[in-house]
């Protein structure tokens, strides 16, 4: 264990950050120099190689979700450890790490993260893969391995099969030997879902009836629903006896109150509402999930769809493209 900061003398004197000084559109972002952050006890300082862009950050930038300004977005990033704080164990200087749990601030040339929440990246995983994987990959992993552990041969329904989580879910489910039914909103998105390996791609308007037809009236074992309000009832209707509905998001809005007797009437169903932080509770669990995800990448069971890479100074353009749905796949920023 280190007894004092490991802070080499040849570090740069400043960092570059992209921040919003006030709430507004993508144009409020500016890139400025700030003092290089110094890691506190148990922290590491990471030189950023790539940072993930996620939709929640557009809400923070615009003021839909309240944050304190000036605000540097970003919880997802990959890079190289260049300094350690007091008493830090874990990743060493020179090692590449990734995280989905930095408090804020990965839209930057350097960011701080608790060493316990930084995962070491294998040599055969690229910086771009390491930055694109954490949030959506760890979400898909806990859904199908912990919330409801899918067995070979089971039939599964997912929603938004062309989305970031949806594409990863499909690939990991197929690697398990499951039959995957998914939904999309357009023919273009249906092609993306099919390329990820989905066995059936349905439209949202009649998906419950189509699921019943595909399963010869039996319904599916589990539904992974990140859409919420618009799909919730249909998701319940798609389940077989003692089936499980995993509601992990609300892209269309929050679901209405549910009469629990409805679960009995539909076949003794289960409903759960998980979130990622309940499935990354310690270093051992975090290491298990990421080691399996990295192995899926290197074995070829998982391919990440990186839809665009932008310079840090063009974070506003990345947000604009994301909000306008001009891209598919994960968006990254690079310093």
For the stretch 141-200, pLDDT in tens is 999 999 999 999 999 999 999 999 999 999 999 999 999 999 999 999 999 999 999 999
* pTM, full prediction: 0.92
Closest CA to 297 of 204, 171, 165: 171
**50 and 127 Cβ atoms separated by less than 8 Å:** yes
**6 and 92 Cβ atoms separated by less than 8 Å:** no
Taking the C-alpha atoms of residue 147 and residue 142, their distance in angstroms, rounded to an integer, is 6
Taking the C-alpha atoms of residue 62 and residue 1, their distance in angstroms, rounded to an integer, is 42
Per-residue H/E/C for 65-84: CCCCCCECCCCCEEEEEEEE
**What does the block give as tokens for 259?**
């009469």
Q: Report in angstroms the alpha-carbon separations of 286 from 77, 118, 279.
A: 16, 9, 8
What backbone phi and psi angles, to 5 degrees, belong to 94? 100, -15
The fold of the 136-277 domain, in CATH, is: Rossmann fold (3.40.50)
Q: Please write the tens of the pLDDT for every residue from 101-128.
A: 876 799 999 999 999 999 999 999 999 9
- Superfamily holding 14-133+304-334: Medium-chain alcohol dehydrogenases, catalytic domain (3.90.180.10)
- Per-domain residue ranges of the chain: 14-133+304-334, 136-277
């Amino acid at each position: 264990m280190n007894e004092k900061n490991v802070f080499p003398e040849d570090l740069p004197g400043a960092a570059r950050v992209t921040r919003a000084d006030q709430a507004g559109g993508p144009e409020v972002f500016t890139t400025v120099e700030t003092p290089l952050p110094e890691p506190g006890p148990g922290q590491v300082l990471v030189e950023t190689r790539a940072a993930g862009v996620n939709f929640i950050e557009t809400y923070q930038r615009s003021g839909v979700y309240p944050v304190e300004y000036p605000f540097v977005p970003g919880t997802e990033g990959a890079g190289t450890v260049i300094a350690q704080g007091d008493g830090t164990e874990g990743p060493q200087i020179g090692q590449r790490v990734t995280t989905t749990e930095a408090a804020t601030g990965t839209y930057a040339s350097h960011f701080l993260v608790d060493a316990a929440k930084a995962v070491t990246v294998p040599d055969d995983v690229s910086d771009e893969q390491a930055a694109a994987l954490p949030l959506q990959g760890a979400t898909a992993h806990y859904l199908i391995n912990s919330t409801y552990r899918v067995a070979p041969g089971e039939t599964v329904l997912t929603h938004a099969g062309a989305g970031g989580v949806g594409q990863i879910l499909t690939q990991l489910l197929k690697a398990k030997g499951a039959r995957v039914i998914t939904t999309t909103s357009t023919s273009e998105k249906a092609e993306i879902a099919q390329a990820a390996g989905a066995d059936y791609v349905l439209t949202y308007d009649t998906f419950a009836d189509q699921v019943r037809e595909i399963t010869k009236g039996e319904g599916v074992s589990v539904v992974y629903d990140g859409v919420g309000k618009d799909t919730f009832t249909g998701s319940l209707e798609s389940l077989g006896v003692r089936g499980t509905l995993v509601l992990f998001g609300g892209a269309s809005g929050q679901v209405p109150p549910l009469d629990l007797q409805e679960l009995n009437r539909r076949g003794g169903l289960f409903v759960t509402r998980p979130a990622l932080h309940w499935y990354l509770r310690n270093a051992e669990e975090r290491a298990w999930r990421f080691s399996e995800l990295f192995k899926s990448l290197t074995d070829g069971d998982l391919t990440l769809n990186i839809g665009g890479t932008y310079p840090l100074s063009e974070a506003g353009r990345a947000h604009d493209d994301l909000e306008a749905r001009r891209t598919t796949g994960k968006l990254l920023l690079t310093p």
